[in-house]
Structure formats: C-alpha cells, structure tokens
Amino acid sequence: MSETVLHQHKWIDVVKYRWVWFGLSLLLIVPGIVAMAYNVVNSPNHSPVKVGIDFTGGTITQYSVNKDVSNSEIEKLRTKLVNQGVENPVIQVLKTNNTISKAENLNASTIISVKTAFKSNDIKAEQKIGDVVKSDYPSAELVQVSSIGPSLGKELFVNSLYALGLAFLGIVVYLSFRFQVDYAVIALISLVHDALFVLGFFAILGIFYNVHIDALFITAVLTVIGFSNHDTIVVFDRIRENSRFLAKKATFPEIVNASVNQTLARSINTSLTTLITLAALYLFGGETTKEFVLAMIVGIAIGTYSSIFFASTLLDWWRERQESKKGARA
C-alpha cells in the first residue's frame, strides 16, 4: 500500500478497534465507580471518596520524631491522650524519606500525626497533644498544624463543586464557540471520563490505603481536566483542519484515523515531558504535595489515553450515527 496523507503503514487504525477502546474505558472506570458506591454505603459521611479535614473540619497536629514508632506505642499514646481529655484522637504514623530536618541533623524519619475534632479558640487541646507526645518522645518537634472549622469545610466543599461545574461549563462554551457543539459535548464526555477515573482511583486508594482527598486534590482534578482537554483539542483541531481540506477525498473515519496518527507523537511526547516533571515532583518534591502530584500523574495518563483513543473514536461513532439517521430519513 502506498504512503499517502490518509494512510501510512505504521499507523494504528483507531477507528476500527473502537469497541476495544470503549471496552477498555469501561474496564478502567467501573472499578472506581464500584469503589465510590462502596464508600457511599460504608463511610460515615457517605462521601464517594474519603475526604480530609479540608472538607469535614478538624485539626491535624504533626510531630516529627527520630525513631520508628510501633503500633503498641501508638496505642499507648492514644490512651494517654484520651486520659488527658483529648476526644477521639486518630493517630497515624507517616514515614518520610528522611530529608526532613536534615539541616538540623535530626534525621527525623517518622511523623506522628494526630487528628482531632476542630475546637475554635481552644488552645489547650493543642498544648495537651504536644505535652503528651513530648513526654513519650523528648526529641519530638512540631512540624505542622492544620485546623479547619466545620462550617468553613462545608463552604470549601461547595466552592470546589462550583469550581468543577464552572470549569466544565467554561470549556464547553469555549469549544462550542471555537469548534462545533458535538465536538464540545464529546470533549466534555471525555473530560468526565477522566475525572471519574481519577476520583475512582482515589476512592480505591481510600479503601485500601486510607487516603483522604483535600482541597488541593480538587485543584489537581481541575488541572487534569484542563490538560486532558488540551490533548483532545489538538486532535480535534487536526480533525477540523483535515476535514476542511480532505472532506471530498476521504471519509470521516479516514480523517479521524489520519488526524489521530498525525498528532500521536505530539500527544505522547507532551504527556511524557509533563509526566517527567511530575515524577520529579513526586520523587523529590515536598511531602505535602505528594498526593496532589499523584492525582495529576494518574489524570494526565488517562487524559492522554482518552484524547487519543476515546474522544476521537467517540466523535467518529457519533458522526456515523448522525449519518445513518440522515440516511434513514432520506
């Protein structure tokens, strides 16, 4: 077969295998949806993804210590805290990759994190926690306190949902304006596809590793949406351009195939460079942004997949249905 603008031998025929991609997408998304449903039923606040104090309100106090902390020690600490009148403390031990306090040569390897309910203007709880931790671990150093009131948490949550909704709307309006409405709707569907996957992924992490999402997570999802949309637009832009010049020569599926393949190197390379920077952030960056970065890594990977295989084939499938409807009417 000759090499033409519409066909080169090394190209992948994305349109031909569209049911494979649709199936794969289902396979990727369904476990997350199951996990979210499981969380809705089982978690105390019926949230599909486990939410942290940013949204529920609460206080987390973290101390770094320079030795390992065993489970029995955690239990002991808990009892002591309860005896001191700290209500329902949830203690977690986090491992750090030891660079914390390197400057001070403390080599603190472990962080003790105590979660309690939010107490406005009550400094005593904080001091009690400090006193108890320091009595067991004299070297303990206060690393971080974050405290959010429950009403503020609720407000943050509602604002985050607004932000998500507005972002979706903004993108659809912009795309309808620059492209056509069906391009915009399909771009939106593939964004929902990506957002669902990331949410599902964290729902699963929540079940197995007790990962809670925070306000930064919403930022990550929004960034992923922006980025994935980036990819989808590049492919759609090429389809638009090719349609303009090749509409009489080629069928729509051929145009879609050509467009996807022409932009393939770009899609993969861009995601690769972004994933490289994110991996650097994940491996070497600050502890506090780790989950945020993970959410973006997962999101950008799925966003690349969806723009290459899902959005383009969905567009083709949609156009095919429209055509056959028209044909049926005529």
Q: Which is nearer to another protein, 77 or 215 (CB)?
A: 215
- Output the smallest distance, CB 182 to another protein, in A: 16
**CA-to-CA distance for 325 and 330, rounded, in angstroms?**
9
- Structural contact between residues 184 and 314, judged by C-beta atoms closer than 8 angstroms: no
The first and second tokens of residue 31, run together, are 């476990």
Q: Which is nearer to another protein, 31 or 226 (CB)?
A: 226
- Output the smallest distance, CB 207 to another protein, in A: 26
SS3 content of the chain, % helix, strand, coil (to 5): 65, 10, 25
Q: Which is nearer to another protein, 229 or 306 (CB)?
A: 229
- Structural contact between residues 67 and 140, judged by C-beta atoms closer than 8 angstroms: no
- Output the smallest distance, CB 233 to another protein, in A: 5
Specify the length of the chain in residues.
Answer: 330
Q: Which is nearer to another protein, 36 or 258 (CB)?
A: 258
Which residue, 170, 280, 152, 167, is CA-closest to 224? 167
Q: Which is nearer to another protein, 251 or 270 (CB)?
A: 270
Q: Which helix (H) or strand (E) holds 223?
A: helix 215-246
Cβ neighbours, 10 Å, residue 241: 13
Q: Which is nearer to another protein, 56 or 160 (CB)?
A: 160
State which amino acid sits at residue 259: S
State which amino acid sits at residue 17: Y
- Output the smallest distance, CB 276 to another protein, in A: 5
- Output the smallest distance, CB 78 to another protein, in A: 22
The first and second tokens of residue 245, run together, are 């010049």
Cβ neighbours, 10 Å, residue 258: 21
Q: CA-based diameter of the chain, in Å?
A: 85
- Output the smallest distance, CB 328 to another protein, in A: 29
